[in-house]
Structure 1
Amino acid sequence: MKKILIALFFGLGLLGGVNAVAAEGDPAPDFTLKSLSGGNIKLSELRGTVVLLNFWASWCGPCRTEMPLLDSLYQQYRDYGFTVLGVNLDENRDQADMLLSKVPVTFPILFDPQNHTSESYAVDAMPTTVLIDRNGVIRYHHRGYRDGYMDKYHAQVKALVLE
């Protein structure tokens, strides 16, 4: 029983030496990731902008459904200090490139093949969407995607860009 509890505490990050993951109300963990365009994007350089992080993978059906809807959201609010960052988690970038050729988007696509960034955002479902306010604080964390989620995203993004 003791071994199980120790494993559980390590898994939850409750013992020293283990990095805790960020949750709603916490500062968003900073990261720098390579983008599809070839440059790097650093989250902290987007301070002052409302950021929607969307963690996705090419094999994820709901991700494919959600991506054009997120692109529409991006187009609607980008002139109001809002951006979407699509963070791909495929180990093989070719798989992401193949999907993007079929489902093109205009928002920046980033690559996290070692999953370091996704781990710091507690990504345990595909897709996972995190909304970060202009001050760099995580305000909303959504697991998965279902019909009706875009209505939530629209309302939350609108409220955040108006703050």
Structure 2
Amino acid sequence: MRIRNSIFVFGALLLLFCSCDEKRVFDEYKSFDGAWNKDSIASFDFEQQDTTSVYNMFVNIRSNNDYPYSNIFLIVEMQQPDTDFTIVDTLEYQMANPDGTLMGEGFTDVKESKLWYREQVKFPTQGAYKVNIQQAVREAGKVPGVQELEGITEIGFRIETTE
């Protein structure tokens, strides 16, 4: 009887922790094999039918201690359905504390950074959207970009409801 109650409590707790992500509308990751090449574009396709609700969008980055910089530059493009209209943003995010330790959530050397992309957004039209994310890191004083960006293991794109 005691074991059965323990299993029930464990199962209930597991269900509770797994169902806590009620705001998620879209959440997907692309993996890199040790480094993110400057020519590699992470693409995310999603359908959006709701044009009345308000959403927040995030770029999620999983990095490890091999990441050599204190910040990261990204080029993010969002293509709207059935048009040639594309929103292009060049974004900079802080990735490390002044002492060099990586920012983000995580207990091991892998940290996940949830970075704001756009907030309080209403999608203008229904249909298939596409988001492309490309790294654009450059070393100080150098024009060409970093060819292989070490320490980035995954890049993700997330959409959440604001309600």
TM-score by length of 2: 0.29
Please identify the structure whose Cα radius of gyration is greater: 2
Query: Which structure features the higher share of helix residues?
Result: 1
Q: Which has the higher contact order (CA 8 A, sep 6+)?
A: 2
TM-score by length of 1: 0.29
